[in-house]
Amino acid sequence: MKAFRETMSWIVPIVIGLLIALLIKQFVFQIVRVDGPSMEPNLVNNERVFCLKTAKIHHGSVVVFDANGVDPQVAQKTDYVKRVIGMPGDKVQSKNGNIYVNGKKINQSYISMDQRKAGTGDWTLKSISVQNSWLKHNGTTTVPKGEYFVLGDHRSVSNDSRYWGFVPKSKIDGVVKVPSWAGTKTTRQNVNKEWQHFYAN
Protein backbone atom coordinates (compact mmCIF):
# COMPACT_ATOMS: atom_id res chain seq x y z
CA MET A 1 0.00 0.00 0.00
CA LYS A 2 2.87 2.34 0.85
CA ALA A 3 4.49 1.63 -2.50
CA PHE A 4 1.17 2.38 -4.26
CA ARG A 5 0.82 5.71 -2.47
CA GLU A 6 4.39 6.63 -3.33
CA THR A 7 3.81 5.74 -6.98
CA MET A 8 0.59 7.73 -7.12
CA SER A 9 2.29 10.71 -5.46
CA TRP A 10 4.34 11.30 -8.60
CA ILE A 11 1.94 9.89 -11.21
CA VAL A 12 -0.99 12.14 -10.22
CA PRO A 13 0.96 15.44 -10.64
CA ILE A 14 2.22 14.27 -14.04
CA VAL A 15 -1.31 13.41 -15.20
CA ILE A 16 -2.65 16.74 -13.92
CA GLY A 17 0.19 18.57 -15.66
CA LEU A 18 -0.53 16.80 -18.95
CA LEU A 19 -4.24 17.59 -18.71
CA ILE A 20 -3.50 21.26 -18.06
CA ALA A 21 -1.10 21.33 -21.02
CA LEU A 22 -3.74 19.76 -23.28
CA LEU A 23 -6.39 22.24 -22.15
CA ILE A 24 -4.04 25.17 -22.76
CA LYS A 25 -3.24 23.86 -26.25
CA GLN A 26 -6.92 23.32 -27.03
CA PHE A 27 -8.37 26.53 -25.67
CA VAL A 28 -5.63 29.12 -24.98
CA PHE A 29 -2.58 28.92 -27.24
CA GLN A 30 -0.23 26.59 -29.01
CA ILE A 31 3.14 26.86 -30.72
CA VAL A 32 2.99 26.61 -34.52
CA ARG A 33 5.83 26.11 -36.99
CA VAL A 34 5.72 28.15 -40.19
CA ASP A 35 6.18 25.86 -43.20
CA GLY A 36 7.37 27.36 -46.49
CA PRO A 37 8.02 30.87 -47.86
CA SER A 38 4.44 32.12 -48.38
CA MET A 39 4.59 34.66 -45.52
CA GLU A 40 8.04 36.06 -46.26
CA PRO A 41 9.53 38.49 -45.39
CA ASN A 42 7.52 38.69 -42.17
CA LEU A 43 7.48 35.00 -41.25
CA VAL A 44 10.12 32.59 -42.54
CA ASN A 45 10.28 28.84 -43.02
CA ASN A 46 10.56 26.88 -39.75
CA GLU A 47 9.91 29.95 -37.58
CA ARG A 48 8.02 29.17 -34.37
CA VAL A 49 5.15 31.46 -33.41
CA PHE A 50 2.26 31.45 -30.95
CA CYS A 51 -1.31 30.78 -32.08
CA LEU A 52 -3.68 32.57 -29.68
CA LYS A 53 -6.99 30.70 -29.62
CA THR A 54 -9.20 33.41 -28.16
CA ALA A 55 -7.76 36.50 -29.88
CA LYS A 56 -10.17 38.56 -31.98
CA ILE A 57 -9.74 38.38 -35.76
CA HIS A 58 -9.29 41.76 -37.45
CA HIS A 59 -8.54 42.97 -40.96
CA GLY A 60 -4.79 42.40 -41.28
CA SER A 61 -4.58 39.70 -38.60
CA VAL A 62 -2.33 36.76 -39.42
CA VAL A 63 -4.19 33.53 -38.65
CA VAL A 64 -3.59 29.79 -38.47
CA PHE A 65 -6.25 27.56 -40.01
CA ASP A 66 -6.79 23.95 -41.03
CA ALA A 67 -6.67 23.81 -44.83
CA ASN A 68 -8.33 20.39 -44.98
CA GLY A 69 -11.71 21.06 -46.58
CA VAL A 70 -10.61 24.54 -47.69
CA ASP A 71 -7.83 23.85 -50.19
CA PRO A 72 -9.03 20.97 -52.45
CA GLN A 73 -5.47 19.65 -52.69
CA VAL A 74 -5.30 18.99 -48.93
CA ALA A 75 -6.69 15.65 -47.72
CA GLN A 76 -5.67 15.71 -44.04
CA LYS A 77 -5.27 18.28 -41.27
CA THR A 78 -2.67 20.78 -42.48
CA ASP A 79 -2.05 24.16 -40.86
CA TYR A 80 -1.78 27.20 -43.15
CA VAL A 81 -0.64 30.64 -41.98
CA LYS A 82 -2.08 33.60 -43.93
CA ARG A 83 -3.17 37.21 -43.49
CA VAL A 84 -6.86 38.18 -43.32
CA ILE A 85 -7.70 40.70 -46.04
CA GLY A 86 -11.48 40.32 -46.33
CA MET A 87 -13.94 39.93 -43.47
CA PRO A 88 -17.55 38.72 -43.81
CA GLY A 89 -19.53 41.09 -46.06
CA ASP A 90 -16.46 42.74 -47.61
CA LYS A 91 -15.82 43.41 -51.28
CA VAL A 92 -12.16 42.88 -52.20
CA GLN A 93 -10.35 44.01 -55.35
CA SER A 94 -6.72 44.14 -56.49
CA LYS A 95 -5.62 46.65 -59.10
CA ASN A 96 -2.19 47.99 -60.13
CA GLY A 97 -0.49 46.71 -56.99
CA ASN A 98 -3.15 48.11 -54.66
CA ILE A 99 -5.79 46.16 -52.77
CA TYR A 100 -9.13 47.76 -52.02
CA VAL A 101 -11.55 46.55 -49.36
CA ASN A 102 -15.02 48.06 -49.77
CA GLY A 103 -13.50 50.64 -52.08
CA LYS A 104 -10.84 51.80 -49.61
CA LYS A 105 -7.13 51.21 -50.34
CA ILE A 106 -5.37 49.16 -47.69
CA ASN A 107 -1.89 49.70 -46.30
CA GLN A 108 0.60 47.15 -47.69
CA SER A 109 3.82 48.58 -46.27
CA TYR A 110 4.57 45.14 -44.83
CA ILE A 111 5.60 43.87 -48.31
CA SER A 112 7.67 45.27 -51.16
CA MET A 113 6.26 47.04 -54.19
CA ASP A 114 7.30 44.09 -56.36
CA GLN A 115 5.29 41.70 -54.17
CA ARG A 116 2.30 44.00 -54.42
CA LYS A 117 2.42 44.32 -58.21
CA ALA A 118 4.02 41.24 -59.76
CA GLY A 119 2.85 38.88 -57.05
CA THR A 120 -0.72 39.89 -56.39
CA GLY A 121 -2.32 40.40 -59.81
CA ASP A 122 -5.40 42.35 -60.88
CA TRP A 123 -8.76 40.83 -59.92
CA THR A 124 -12.10 41.06 -58.16
CA LEU A 125 -13.62 38.29 -56.07
CA LYS A 126 -15.94 37.49 -58.95
CA SER A 127 -13.16 37.30 -61.56
CA ILE A 128 -10.82 35.05 -59.55
CA SER A 129 -13.61 32.78 -58.35
CA VAL A 130 -14.54 32.10 -61.97
CA GLN A 131 -10.98 32.05 -63.32
CA ASN A 132 -9.78 29.58 -60.68
CA SER A 133 -13.01 27.51 -60.61
CA TRP A 134 -13.69 27.76 -56.91
CA LEU A 135 -15.73 24.80 -55.71
CA LYS A 136 -17.79 27.06 -53.43
CA HIS A 137 -19.11 30.61 -53.92
CA ASN A 138 -18.17 30.69 -57.61
CA GLY A 139 -19.08 34.09 -59.04
CA THR A 140 -19.50 35.76 -55.65
CA THR A 141 -18.87 39.48 -55.21
CA THR A 142 -18.56 39.62 -51.40
CA VAL A 143 -17.02 37.55 -48.63
CA PRO A 144 -19.80 35.29 -47.26
CA LYS A 145 -21.04 35.42 -43.68
CA GLY A 146 -18.79 33.48 -41.30
CA GLU A 147 -15.88 33.29 -43.78
CA TYR A 148 -12.63 35.14 -44.52
CA PHE A 149 -10.50 36.01 -47.54
CA VAL A 150 -6.79 35.43 -46.85
CA LEU A 151 -3.53 36.10 -48.67
CA GLY A 152 0.08 35.16 -48.05
CA ASP A 153 2.51 38.07 -47.80
CA HIS A 154 4.81 36.57 -50.46
CA ARG A 155 2.09 36.72 -53.06
CA SER A 156 3.93 35.22 -56.05
CA VAL A 157 4.45 31.90 -54.23
CA SER A 158 1.48 31.84 -51.86
CA ASN A 159 -1.31 29.31 -52.25
CA ASP A 160 -4.21 31.28 -50.78
CA SER A 161 -7.81 32.45 -51.18
CA ARG A 162 -7.19 33.63 -54.72
CA TYR A 163 -6.99 30.00 -55.84
CA TRP A 164 -9.50 28.13 -53.66
CA GLY A 165 -11.78 30.66 -51.98
CA PHE A 166 -12.74 31.58 -48.44
CA VAL A 167 -11.79 30.20 -45.02
CA PRO A 168 -14.73 29.37 -42.71
CA LYS A 169 -14.35 30.73 -39.17
CA SER A 170 -14.78 27.17 -37.87
CA LYS A 171 -11.48 26.25 -39.57
CA ILE A 172 -9.46 29.04 -37.95
CA ASP A 173 -7.42 27.88 -34.94
CA GLY A 174 -6.32 31.33 -33.81
CA VAL A 175 -4.34 34.51 -34.40
CA VAL A 176 -0.54 34.49 -34.78
CA LYS A 177 1.63 36.31 -32.26
CA VAL A 178 5.39 36.52 -32.85
CA PRO A 179 7.26 36.40 -29.52
CA SER A 180 9.68 39.17 -28.57
CA TRP A 181 12.74 36.98 -29.15
CA ALA A 182 11.84 36.05 -32.74
CA GLY A 183 12.14 37.99 -36.01
CA THR A 184 12.98 41.69 -36.01
CA LYS A 185 11.15 44.66 -34.54
CA THR A 186 9.73 45.43 -38.00
CA THR A 187 8.56 41.91 -38.82
CA ARG A 188 7.02 41.51 -35.34
CA GLN A 189 5.14 44.76 -35.89
CA ASN A 190 4.03 43.59 -39.36
CA VAL A 191 2.50 40.45 -37.88
CA ASN A 192 1.38 41.42 -34.38
CA LYS A 193 0.07 44.95 -34.94
CA GLU A 194 -0.48 45.48 -38.67
CA TRP A 195 -4.22 45.16 -38.11
CA GLN A 196 -4.10 48.49 -36.26
CA HIS A 197 -3.03 50.22 -39.49
CA PHE A 198 -4.98 48.22 -42.05
CA TYR A 199 -6.22 51.03 -44.27
CA ALA A 200 -3.88 53.42 -46.10
CA ASN A 201 -3.86 57.03 -44.90
- By the 8 A CB rule, do 52 and 177 touch? yes
Q: Which of 82, 94, 129, 171 is catalytic?
A: 82
Taking the C-alpha atoms of residue 178 and residue 189, their distance in angstroms, rounded to an integer, is 9
Q: Which of 2, 9, 25, 38 is catalytic?
A: 38
Residue 38: active-site member: yes
Taking the C-alpha atoms of residue 194 and residue 62, their distance in angstroms, rounded to an integer, is 9
| Alpha-carbon 170 to chain mean position | 13
3-state secondary structure of 182: coil
Burial of 125 (0-12, 13-18, 19+ CB in 10 A): buried
Taking the C-alpha atoms of residue 90 and residue 2, their distance in angstroms, rounded to an integer, is 66
Q: In what order do the strands lie in the sheet with 62-66?
A: 29-33, 48-52, 172-177, 62-66, 79-86, 147-151, 167-168
Residue 53: active-site member: no
Closest among 91, 83, 70, 84 to 140, alpha carbons compared: 91
- By the 8 A CB rule, do 62 and 85 touch? no
Which residue numbers are catalytic?
A: 38, 82
